């Protein structure tokens, strides 16, 4: 990262934490839910996959569970962390099947699409 660039921020205002290196995620495949002008889908929500969400995503046309070796993609399974499109996360929330979210690894740009209260309601490790 060039010294004149500030680190990416998360939805809590801190430095963006990594989401996953195994599987390697992120629009830029750097393990973080970083974003930029080329990321039209805003792959900014660090989500913990569940069987329910993976089935839902496949149903709505984005099959994340089937391996695609030609793209170097092994397919996701429950427990994997993945940078989801903020709009897809909000859609899953509206349908009642949103996965848990790692707030410290969710890019602040997600807030342009998903309200912080919604993200917090799905925070991984929340009590209650």
Token match 């209260």: residue? 117
For the CA atoms of 2, 38, 21, 121, the dihedral, rounded to the nearest 10 degrees, stands at: 110
Q: How confident is the model at residue 97 (pLDDT cuts 50, 70, 90)?
A: very high
Average pLDDT over residues 11-32: 95
The residues pairing with 68 across neighbouring beta strands, listed in sequence order, are 73
Average pLDDT over residues 107-111: 98
Q: For the chain, how many residues are written?
A: 128
Instruction: For the chain, give the mean pLDDT.
Output: 92
DSSP string, 5-35: SPPPBBTTSSBPPP--BTTB-STTSSSS---
For residue 84, the number of C-alpha atoms closer than 13 Å in the C-beta half-sphere is 32
């Amino acid at each position: 990262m060039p010294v004149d660039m500030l680190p990416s921020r998360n939805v809590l205002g801190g430095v963006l934490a990594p989401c996953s290196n195994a599987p390697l995620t992120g629009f830029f495949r750097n393990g973080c839910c970083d974003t930029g002008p080329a990321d039209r889908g805003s792959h900014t929500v660090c989500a913990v996959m569940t069987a329910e969400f993976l089935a839902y995503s496949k149903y709505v046309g984005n099959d994340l569970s089937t391996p695609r070796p030609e793209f170097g993609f092994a397919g996701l399974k429950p427990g994997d962390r993945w940078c989801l499109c903020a709009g897809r996360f909000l859609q899953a929330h509206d349908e009642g099947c949103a996965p848990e979210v790692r707030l410290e690894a969710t890019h602040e740009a997600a807030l342009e699409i998903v309200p912080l209260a919604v993200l917090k309601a799905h925070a991984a490790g929340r009590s209650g």
